[in-house]
A and B are shown apart, each in its own frame.
Chain A
């Protein structure tokens, strides 16, 4: 059987033109997807059933036993952390928020170590953005800043920018200029019309300098800024002002470096300044396929996109205090539920040392690094492969993923609902 127009649950591009050939309960071929997506569809070695750590050994348990363990753990905790959420569908994320409200815990998603700083910046200055198709059809200038789509979002270039057809571009490949700004000469830099190489930690200064130049204050700028000559900065500023439609895509090269959200704020303010001259937009290159969905769900249900602390009943938000890395490193939680992410692979070691000390339950289809710190792991279906559900693309477009095969695994939502029901009973509701 061939499933057409399947939705790839890997990165924030959420490509929805994938063809998946299925033989029984196995994917045998994937067409249109990039290497990352293909591997995800072809994934193997799932965890077969829920497991419980019993001293220095693992034992198999039932889904009911696992759900009871999780519910009990969350109900008895004084400050449980409910973390992850970017690797699951929106319907499951909604249950997660209700759980956090009920047990008065902290709910955070992977954006705190991804584009959380971008959100902090947007909260200061807003966000002039657009959907990907607007860029595809119009942009004659695309800037990748601190992002390397060839490795992280391989089809971004072919579907939306460098190699994409555009309604308003006669010859898109020739008429569309690409600028890459990075500290490394990445593979993406090799396909750029202009590469701006910045000294590490210098993004903020370069962005400030560009803003000043766009405002006609070139004389204030020193001869070089973070390794970039003033001449090149002026050239880039002129390319931007001369474009009919410019689009900036930024990545973790801005969010993870010195200054964090201030870098993004500066980039957004550059785009707002350019909007006085021509059309310009800016967007984040989001990693997990549904990290934006967890921001959206959290926002409509709690008012905040990530890092929400319900300890006091009402929602409190303060990234840096209510975000997972900070809480774990400061040992400020006493239980953790992990869904749709693998913090043990992606968090600094100090966080892992605390995970080793507290009870942890994880929902994940595969054994992963976090498994080692779990008291219970519950295998679930993979959204977009053996479960359906809603995901939000990096530009905010919601797409319903398709189920391409049946595996018999329950979805995240089903498992979470089972836990939530037990928790409501535990709370006498």
Chain B
């Protein structure tokens, strides 16, 4: 199914943003908030894993039911998970389409990667001390 993915600030993202190596930050930024009707259609329960495919790749997140999002729309807190699939095009304005991405969502048995894992996938080296 295709959804419009919006990314944005949440309190939990904000309180963990200075500690990006924490499990709390990873948990918050890998959460995909979805309307419960859409979840029913995909056969998803709260906390289950989904594969989200965007214009430049895919990433595994966890779904969370939310009344704030409309059907057909999902909300993901700012962070490395959403950005793993956000396209870099800016329409020559400097600003990517952080709030208007079409994504495909399907259930998966895979678990979300760690932030370190995502970074290493792209050629980085995690610092873990």
Contact = CB atoms under 8 A, between A and B. Distances in A.
A152 B119 contact: no
Interface stretch (B36-44, B45-53, B74-82, B103-111): B74-82
Q: Is the interface of B mostly helix, strand, loop or mixed?
A: loop
A371 B125 CA distance: 8
A201 B100 contact: yes
A148 B19 CA distance: 23
Contact of B18 (A40, A113, A351): A40
Nearest to A307: B94
B69 A10 contact: no
A369 to B, nearest CB: 5
A253 B99 contact: yes
A28 B93 CA distance: 43
Contacts, number: 193
26 contacts: A53-B125, A113-B98, A183-B70, A183-B73, A185-B68, A200-B4, A256-B7, A256-B97, A256-B98, A256-B99, A258-B100, A261-B93, A319-B94, A320-B92, A323-B90, A323-B94, A325-B94, A329-B88, A347-B96, A349-B56, A349-B57, A353-B123, A356-B122, A369-B80, A373-B124, A374-B127
Contact of B19 (A45, A306, A373): A45
B88 A351 contact: yes
A346 B83 contact: yes
A388 B90 CA distance: 35
B11 interface: yes
A320 B18 contact: no
B83 A347 contact: yes
Interface in B113-127: 115-116, 119-120, 122-127
Given A325-B95, A345-B115, A347-B88, 6 more contacts: A58-B127, A117-B95, A151-B8, A184-B75, A260-B91, A366-B20
Interface residues of B, number: 56
B124 A116 contact: no
Nearest to B21: A367
Nearest to A189: B68
Given A325-B96, A372-B124, A366 B18 contact: yes
A306 B94 CA distance: 10
Q: Which of B21, B115, B125 has the most CB of A within 10 A?
A: B125
Interface residues of A, number: 74
Nearest to A260: B93
A193 B2 CA distance: 33
A349 B86 contact: yes
A421 B14 CA distance: 36
A345 B83 contact: yes
Interface string A357-380: 100000000111101111001000
A120 B93 contact: yes
Contacts of B125: 53, 56, 58, 372
B90 A344 contact: no
A372 B126 contact: yes
B1 interface: no
Contacts of A329: 88-89
Interface in B27-41: 29
A242 interface: no
Nearest to A112: B94
A150 B4 CA distance: 23
A390 B6 CA distance: 33
A215 interface: no
B94 A320 contact: yes
Nearest to B122: A352
B14 A35 contact: yes
Contacts of B96: 113, 256, 325, 347-348
Contacts of B17: 342, 345
A235 to B, nearest CB: 22
A326 B4 CA distance: 23
Contacts of B4: 200
